[in-house]
Amino acid sequence: MIINETIGNLSQNPTAKPVDFIDLEWFETTKRIQRKKTRMGTDIAIKFLREGQRLREGDILFEDDQKIIAVNVLETEAIVMSPASLLEMGTVCYEIGNKHIPLFIQDNQVLLPFEMPMFRWLEASGFKPEKKTVKLLNLLKSNVEPHGHGNLGSSIFTKILKMAAPKDE
């Protein structure tokens, strides 16, 4: 079975039909092409056509008269922090983002996949990280688009290209 799009979510479309879950790790929710088996053994090929589309907890991938196939995001070890202030929230998010590590915000907490070096760094920096097993569900979009700063009007990449272009004499 080939899946090209989601057709709803269990949270918005409650049903009495049996639900066959496809279990995904948090990092698999952003993969554009993958092959998986549901808990009941149905082979599924997921092929999303749009860049940036991701699967979410409870997304319905298939529905017929007999059953629904939906996404279940598996629990994983994570670093969980509950910032005490907005300043601490901004600081910790900036520091984590500066290291290009996936970041999640759920229930007023900052979460990221568990890595011991990051856990130790956060402790040494005065934050109070905890190691917990949770579902990482709300991945923040962190794509940085080319942009200019101030009145410069173009990206740094564009400026480098202009500097490297041959000069007309």
Global pTM?
0.74
Please tell me the predicted confidence (pLDDT) of residue 145: 40
Name the 3-class secondary structure at 42.
coil
pLDDT per residue over 88-143, tens digit each? 888 888 888 888 888 898 988 999 999 999 999 899 988 899 999 999 998 886 55
What is the C-alpha to C-alpha distance for residues 169 and 167, in angstroms, rounded to an integer? 6
pLDDT, tens only, 52-64: 678 999 999 999 9
* pLDDT reported for residue 86: 85
Q: What DSSP assignment string belongs to 96-157?
A: HHHTT---EEETTEEEEE--HHHHHHHHHTT---EEEEEE---BPP-PPPP---TT--S-HH
Q: Is 25's pLDDT higher than 90?
A: yes
Residue ranges, comma separated, of all CATH 3.30.70.790 domains in the chain are 75-135
pLDDT tens figures, 149-159 = 444 444 554 55
Comma-separated ranges of CATH 2.60.260.20 domains in the chain: 2-73
Of the listed ranges 69-73, 80-84, 88-92, 128-132, the one predicted with least confidence = 88-92
CATH, domain range 2-73: 2.60.260.20
The CATH class for the domain spanning 75-135 reads alpha beta
